[in-house]
Amino acid sequence: MAFELEALVGHVYVVGGKVIKTNPPGALCEVAPRKCARGREADTFFVLVLPSGNPAPVSFYEQMAMLAAERYFAISGSVSAALKEMLTAVNNSLYEHNVSGRKPYETNIICAVLRGSELTIARVGACAAVLRHSGLTLTYPENLSDEDALYQPPLGVRPIPEVLLKRYSVDSGTRFVLVDASVAELKPEALTQALVASNIEQVLEEYKLIALGQTQAMVVELVRSEVTASVPVVAGDSSKTIVAELATLRAQMSQPAAVDEGEPLPKPSKRPRVNPIAAVLAAVLRAFGRVFTGMGRLIARLFGQNMDSPKVRYSTGFLTTAIFALPLMVVLVVVLSWVAGIGETRFEECVRQALEAGNLARSLDSSNPNSILAAWEATLLKSAECEELRPNDPSLSALRREGLGVIDRLRNIERRALQPLATIPNSNLTSLVLRGLDLYALDKATSLVYRFQIGADGKSLAGTPQPLVNMRRGASVDGLQLGTLIDIAFDDQLNVIAALDRGGVLVRCPPRFVMQCEAQRVLASETWQNPIAITIWQGTLYVLDTVGNQLWRYQASGGNYASVPTEYFVGSVRPDLSLAVDFAISTAGNTRGSVYTLFSNGVMMRHFGSEPQPFAFAGFPEGQNLAQTSVNGMFLNDSPIDTAFYIISPAARTIYETSIAGSFIASYRVFEEEIFSALNAIAVEPAQQLMYVAAGDSLYVLSKSR
């Protein structure tokens, strides 16, 4: 299939200070094979398996990389869940081998999955990633000098691995490196210099110059599929080749372990669980078969027939009986198999493994919360796999509730019930504006604005969603035709709902007279490069332009915007807005007039009069730091009874609440977590403590209080 972005891949392999011209043995880049799990078709998988502890044969690292790729593409679900399940499965094989008394092996592993414009990185052990994107050099972990963050336990030493995940937004020209822990010894300036070289070939040469005596690295540059590479490239091995090689290796590994300690690691095998009723049934049928065969031979001998002769003639009556008897026997075997529970063996085996994982999680020392978290996350993954075989099983539901309760308690997560309000088929609701009992939503799929009238209880609708016909692509207002809508905002001074399109046409409608709208084209809109959001504050229109790297400000005059815009950010030092996703302007207390800009990497910047002001998020529980995930929107509640930021992260399926100063207050999730993977927008009603969220084509409400 076609991919939006393709990868140019190179490797750096240095041993004893000498550059080795072959690829590192544990490096592999693989696209989805023809037969892969649902949802994996558009994924590109990168993996680097690195030495740790006792040295292993080269084939061991090759086998581990191929096993990781095959396991990943065989697992359905989200990228994060598949990476965790794959790494847990690989760790189980390695851990079982190590506790069996044979020579132990362990390894560090770092993986990356490219899907569309999102890159997800997972690491276990001492390894790291470096990313060059939008003029920034980012590392994972963020602080390479922090040994506790960099040197994590490798695969094979714990029953449940500690899998660390990070997501990044990427585009054409993004470069990243998967590398061992030696990268911590390199100077940041040297890393940046290597990554900004003219092409990937030069990147590899620059990296080899700064690499230490022992280094293994995979270097990747992302390019558009239609762009011709600037350096000679060759296609990688196909999935079919990988699978064939893996099948051969598995056949070899199923043999008894060799005496030679230098042999590759054999993969531990489990004896399949035998259903005792099915075993008895099979033995009985085999016994009947032997009896009937003996009787047939005896009758043939009495009548002078040789059963072993290929020219045996059968009577018409015998053939007629066989025609009717054989189907009856097949039906009998199927019925008996069903009664014996043969068809349920896979589900029962899955449940047994899930319950065992739950027992292991319960038995862990409470003084090690990271291990408990990893164990319960693995349990929930296994439970989800079982529920695909049989949904709504009571034992699995109870196990899931228990696991979620433990994880929520350790991570300080508030879990709430989610109540659906409305669904607009084939829509993508991306912006919400709440005023009184009117909730406005922008459907970016069709560039159409809807109004939802909220009931007095705040948890229901007083009527059906109303499309605003004058706020849609193609509508003509005051002789101006609307194009693709950017965003919506409410003008408190004029008491109108406003929508702006990419061509600079601004439409404003009073809430109770939505057919009596007016439109104007704001000036200098042709200078915008990528406008993504708007706000109207004290009558002034603000337009956030991420590529133009500016916040355009339109002053109102006589109810219209008749003058050219002014630049909010001035001076020689201006913020880089390339990763900005949303912004808001405060009207509360001593922060009044402050502009808050949210970036996709979880960073927030505050400016007042274009001057930067101190701001940083703080107090987040371990594992919930915004820098460890990606965010795509926020809501600033200026109400004096609930002044706070609400930040949404579909990657973490979480709503984060912080104070106006950035201090952590709470994080909210719902029991139907998959719904939050499509979070687009949020609006909060402070008096009733309700949060309205848009996810995909639906609008929901959840309560802040229990």
pLDDT digit string, tens, across residues 637-654:
988 888 999 999 998 899
Mean pLDDT of 233-242: 45
553 to each of 199, 521, 537, 581, how far by Cα in Å?
Answer: 39, 15, 10, 18
> If pLDDT is split at 50, 70 and 90, which confidence band does 298 have?
low
Give me the chain's average pLDDT, please.
84
> If pLDDT is split at 50, 70 and 90, which confidence band does 260 have?
very low
Q: Give the span between the Cα atoms of 457 and 629, in whole angstroms.
A: 34
Nearest to 411 by CA among 376, 365, 361: 376
Higher-scoring residue by pLDDT: 573, 285: 573
Orientation of helix 369-389 relative to helix 79-99, angle to 10°: 110
Nearest to 77 by CA among 38, 33, 30, 123: 38
CB 230: neighbour CB atoms within 10 A? 14
Determine how β-strand 480-481 pairs with β-strand 485-491: unpaired
pLDDT given for residue 304 in this prediction:
57
> What is the rounded (10 degree) CA torsion for 509, 510, 515, 520?
-30
- Residue 2 pLDDT greater than 60, yes or no: no
The string of pLDDT tens digits covering residues 421-461 is 999 998 999 999 999 999 999 999 999 999 999 999 999 99
Q: Which amino acid is at 213?
A: G
> If pLDDT is split at 50, 70 and 90, which confidence band does 281 have?
low
Highest-confidence range of 352-366, 539-553, 620-634, by mean pLDDT? 539-553
Strand pairing partners for 106?
52
pLDDT given for residue 343 in this prediction:
46
- Residue 58 pLDDT greater than 60, yes or no: yes
- Residue 261 pLDDT greater than 50, yes or no: no
Q: Which amino acid is at 52?
A: S
Q: Reduced to 3 states, what is the DSSP secondary structure of residue 702?
A: strand
Backbone phi, psi, residue 318, to 5°:
-65, -45
CB 390: neighbour CB atoms within 10 A? 14
Nearest to 46 by CA among 221, 234, 246: 221
Nearest to 444 by CA among 495, 502, 508, 505: 502
> If pLDDT is split at 50, 70 and 90, which confidence band does 177 have?
very high
> What is the rounded (10 degree) CA torsion for 81, 85, 88, 93?
-170
Count of alpha carbons within 13 Å of 602, Cβ hemisphere only? 23
Min mean pLDDT across 39-48, 132-141, 324-333, 526-535 is at 324-333
- Token duo for residue 51: 């030495």
Strand pairing partners for 580?
599
322 to each of 284, 305, 662, how far by Cα in Å?
Answer: 21, 19, 80
Q: Reduced to 3 states, what is the DSSP secondary structure of residue 422?
A: strand
Contact (CB, 8 A) for 605 and 617 = no
H/E segment holding residue 177: strand 175-180
- Residue 86 pLDDT greater than 80, yes or no: yes
Q: Which amino acid is at 253?
A: M
- Residue 493 pLDDT greater than 60, yes or no: yes
pLDDT given for residue 254 in this prediction:
43
Contact (CB, 8 A) for 111 and 41 = no
DSSP 205-262: HHHHHH--SSEEEEEEEEEETTSPPSS-------HHHHHHHHHHHHHHHTSPPPS-TT
- Token duo for residue 154: 């490798």
Look at the alpha carbons of 196, 200, 206, 212 in this order and tell me if their dihedral is positive or negative. Answer: positive
- Token duo for residue 328: 């009856």
Long-range (24+ apart) CB contacts under 8 A made by 29-35 are 29/218, 29/220, 29/236, 30/69, 30/73, 30/236, 30/237, 30/239, 30/242, 31/3, 31/236, 31/239, 32/1, 32/73, 32/239, 33/73, 33/238, 33/239, 33/240, 33/242, 33/243, 34/239, 34/240
Contact (CB, 8 A) for 660 and 585 = no
- Residue 670 pLDDT greater than 90, yes or no: yes
Q: Give the span between the Cα atoms of 651 and 256, in whole angstroms.
A: 44
In the sheet that holds 438-443, the strands lie side by side as: 429-435, 438-443, 448-453, 466-472
Min mean pLDDT across 246-260, 321-335, 512-526 is at 246-260
Q: Give the span between the Cα atoms of 471 and 489, in whole angstroms.
A: 12
**Phi-psi domain of 662 (left: phi exceeds 0; alpha: psi -120 through 50; beta: other):** left
Q: Give the span between the Cα atoms of 459 and 298, in whole angstroms.
A: 81
> If pLDDT is split at 50, 70 and 90, which confidence band does 384 have?
confident
> If pLDDT is split at 50, 70 and 90, which confidence band does 271 have?
very low
Min mean pLDDT across 49-63, 183-197, 564-578 is at 49-63
How would you class 263 by CB atoms within 10 Å of its CB: exposed for 0-12, middle for 13-18, buried for 19 or more?
Answer: middle
Min mean pLDDT across 105-109, 171-175, 580-584, 639-643 is at 639-643
For 341, residues 6+ apart whose C-beta sits below 8 A from its C-beta are 275, 277, 278, 348
Q: Give the span between the Cα atoms of 481 and 521, in whole angstroms.
A: 10
DSSP 533-593: EEEEETTEEEEEETTTTEEEEE--BTTB--S--EESS-SS-----TTEEEEEE--SGGGTT
> If pLDDT is split at 50, 70 and 90, which confidence band does 373 have?
confident
pLDDT given for residue 315 in this prediction:
55
Determine how β-strand 413-416 pairs with β-strand 664-670: parallel
